[in-house]
Copies of this chain bind each other. A is one copy, B any other.
Amino acid sequence: MLLCDVGNTSYHFLDQSHDYKESVVTFDPKTITQKVYYICVNPDIKESLDALQNWINLAEFIDKHPYYETMGIDRIVACEAVKNGVIVDAGSAITVDVVRDGHFEGGFIYPGTQAMRDTYTNISHALDYEFNYNLNLDIIPKNSQDALSYGYLKLLYNEVMMHKLEVILTGGDSVKLQHIFPDAKCENELLFNSMKKIIKKAKLC
């Protein structure tokens, strides 16, 4: 069974237990002839996939009533797999969603690590620093690298922890955020596992 999570920058495939990525810029989905079960947050790509008979959009098999209309399908699929937790999905954007007792409470969107890094650099070259993921979140900084890192990471940390639920990390940059959330549960395959459950529930194969 071939699964694919299409994001803003890449096609993320899972072929049995082997996962790999293809760039949204260079990859042609027509080159795949077998059946692909997918979700897609990129509106342009979604339109082109709609035209391909072997690409099955799992969004059509989910009850989206508990969520909101413009909510990214990746966030919905992640929430579907969680009973209690704050899901932090670190991709080109970081999405944070709160699920309590199986009920979606709401969520927010924050820039991904590369996007935020570019933001600071574009404001001024004086703000061109790598983030320090090992910074001490209890101390308000007195150096430039930590002042930027704190502005990005501590502010995210405060809000995530405020919900007093287990933190579930997923997405390509989850490894970086593990330093900030050392007690978080890392579920790199959260989306794919949820997609498998949806396929099973809808009896698609």
Residues of A within 8 A of B (CB): 8, 41-43, 67-68, 70-72, 92-93, 96, 98, 104-112, 115-116, 118-120, 122-127, 139-144, 147-148, 150-152, 154-156, 158-159, 162-163
Dominant SS among interface residues on chain A:
mixed
User: CA of A106 to CA of B142 in the docked complex: distance in angstroms?
Assistant: 5
Minimum C-beta distance from A68 to chain B (A): 5
Give complex CA distance A156, B151 in Å.
Answer: 8
Given A93-B120, A106-B147, A110-B152; 6 other pairs, CB 8 A cutoff = A42-B124, A43-B126, A68-B142, A70-B144, A71-B142, A107-B140
Measured between beta carbons, the chain B residues less than 8 angstroms from A150 are 108
Q: Are B155 and A159 in contact (CB under 8 A)?
A: yes
**Per a CB cutoff under 8 Å, which of B8, B107, B143, B158 touches A124?**
B8
Contact sample, A vs B, 28 pairs, CB 8 Å cutoff? A8-B124, A41-B124, A43-B125, A43-B126, A67-B142, A68-B143, A70-B143, A70-B144, A71-B147, A92-B123, A93-B120, A93-B123, A93-B127, A105-B140, A106-B139, A107-B141, A107-B142, A109-B144, A109-B147, A109-B148, A111-B116, A111-B119, A111-B120, A111-B151, A115-B123, A119-B119, A140-B163, A158-B159
Complex partner residue of A127 from B105, B109, B126, B159, CB under 8 angstroms: B109
Residues of B within 8 A of A70 (CB): 126, 143-144
Partner of A118, one of B8, B42, B119, B144: B119
Which listed residue, B71, B98, B120, touches A144 by the CB 8 Å rule? Answer: B71
